[in-house]
Chains A and B, each alone.
Chain A
């Protein structure tokens, strides 16, 4: 199971639409969840709409939360999306067996067996979550809370019976125009990781769409192994390693 979790506080303003990028992710079998972090005001109507649309296009969930709720939200969203992903797969199977895909259409006593399978798979299947963090200037005071939420998520994932891995990216990359930078490759523990975001140069732009595309690429490379990494004209290797 693959997820991208985007944490942002506003609107994208450069490059490809993040909604299109999220739809790409979905077609690759990656669910996109979006958390909009509020501080005192809100993300604005435009930001809220975008956040909602990215998640819809990416087959995931979206939430607007303040910083105190961040850890809990990230943790529960990830969990819910795992269940949803499995639910979709199970429903597909059910459609073949029953001709009716919806679990709700089953009588309650039959539903129990199906849900037992969903719960079991949710607990034991391999899960990868790529966290994509908006590190534009307005997010700077919130990064400590974001880091805390990432550590908290890792703690929850470690309790699962199945293998769980996270990776962390932030965007914008640098003045040279990279869309996003990897801070942490696939890992299943954060022991010994002192700081996830050591020294960030806060850029002014918010290339949410291109950053999502880059994370999709990262997933793809993981799937095809090292070989394809060489084929990508050295562009990725610069900031992925």
Chain B
């Protein structure tokens, strides 16, 4: 919730952990989530991301999830939770914080705008892969939205803001209305893999048809919101039309999990029309038109002779 969140850390400030005395120099604000603010910080010439919250319970709850996930990832993964502590804010109050790996990247929307829509199928696949890993470990991301996906070079994807991550079977801890399955009358708010896939579908539409999506939320009566409306937008969108069938399945909950969904997405990518590079050349169109005219003339002559 938009709690009155007053802590404001400035460039150059140094914060010190109350319990473990870790010292971090603040570089700049990276973003703001529901539970707190995220800053880029430096410690011993290394860059980290620092998330500071206003509510110790909320933030600790998020840390618990991160720690459980970290335990499951035994090998082959660099750690992403480095430190958990409290700091004294400029106002003298104590604030809880944690330190995680800094992910260099741009937000999903920015990346696709800069690098072009041809990256969309691959980035989508990588994002589904990330979700599949999470689902496999028994978690649902929950608050999947454009702002929570960072993309680094060559379409490498990272999820940020784990405040919504929920164990399968419990109620989704944090969500954003337009990405929410319940908001679209598409099912419950219980955490299951299909919940994330629904949000993934909305995210695709948000990327390329944000205006129409926004319009829909304004115009539709709550009881008339449905996945069918979302699918219609996808079918009328040049970029999304190739994946409209996939989106329909995601909205209807037909994929068992993100792994299954990723496999279906991969199949789409290898179809030619997904990439939309094979527009018919003009000369071919001309040829078709000419032969049609010739055929018509022949038929006309034949008929005239018969009669």
**Residues of A that sit less than 8 Å from B by CB:** 63, 71-73, 76-77, 80, 83, 87, 103-104, 107-109, 111-112, 115-116, 118-119, 123, 148, 151-152, 155-156, 158-161
Contacts and interface: CB of A to CB of B under 8 A. Distances in A.
Given A112-B67, A118-B61, 9 more contacts: A72-B177, A83-B58, A111-B60, A116-B64, A123-B171, A148-B222, A155-B182, A155-B189, A161-B169
A158 B96 CA distance: 31
A108 B171 contact: no
Contact of A159 (B1, B96, B190, B222): B190
Nearest to B170: A123
A112 B64 contact: yes
Given A112-B60, A112-B63, A159-B171, A107 B190 contact: no
26 contacts: A63-B1, A72-B177, A76-B1, A83-B57, A103-B57, A104-B94, A107-B19, A108-B63, A111-B56, A112-B63, A112-B64, A112-B67, A115-B64, A116-B64, A118-B57, A119-B61, A155-B182, A155-B188, A155-B189, A159-B171, A159-B172, A159-B188, A159-B190, A159-B191, A161-B169, A161-B171
Interface string B62-102: 01100100000000000000001110000000101000000
A104 B86 contact: yes
Interface of B: 1, 19, 56-58, 60-61, 63-64, 67, 84-86, 94, 96, 169-172, 177, 182-183, 188-191, 222
Contacts of B96: 104, 108
Given A103-B56, A112-B64, A115-B57, A160 B222 contact: no
Contacts of A107: 19
Nearest to B62: A115
A156 B182 contact: yes
B216 to A, nearest CB: 14
A77 B56 contact: no
Contacts of B86: 104, 108
A156 B189 contact: yes
A68 to B, nearest CB: 9
Nearest to B218: A68
Contacts of A72: 177
Nearest to A162: B171
Contacts of A73: 1
A156 B174 CA distance: 11
A161 B222 CA distance: 25
Contacts of A71: 177
B61 A108 contact: no
Nearest to B19: A107
The 5 closest A-B pairs by CB, nearest first: A159-B171, A159-B189, A115-B60, A76-B1, A108-B84
Contact of A160 (B56, B64, B84, B171): B171
A108 B96 CA distance: 8
Contacts of B61: 115, 118-119
Nearest to B191: A159
Nearest to A157: B171
A109 B60 CA distance: 9
Contact of B188 (A109, A151, A158): A158
Contacts of B191: 159
Contacts of A115: 57, 60-61, 64
Given A71-B177, A107-B19, A77 B1 contact: yes
Nearest to B181: A155
Nearest to B222: A148
A225 to B, nearest CB: 30
Contacts of A103: 56-57
Contacts of A155: 182, 188-189
Contacts of A123: 170-171
Nearest to B195: A159
A3 to B, nearest CB: 15
A39 to B, nearest CB: 16
Nearest to A102: B56
A104 B58 CA distance: 12
Given A77-B1, A112-B67, A148-B222, A156 B60 contact: no
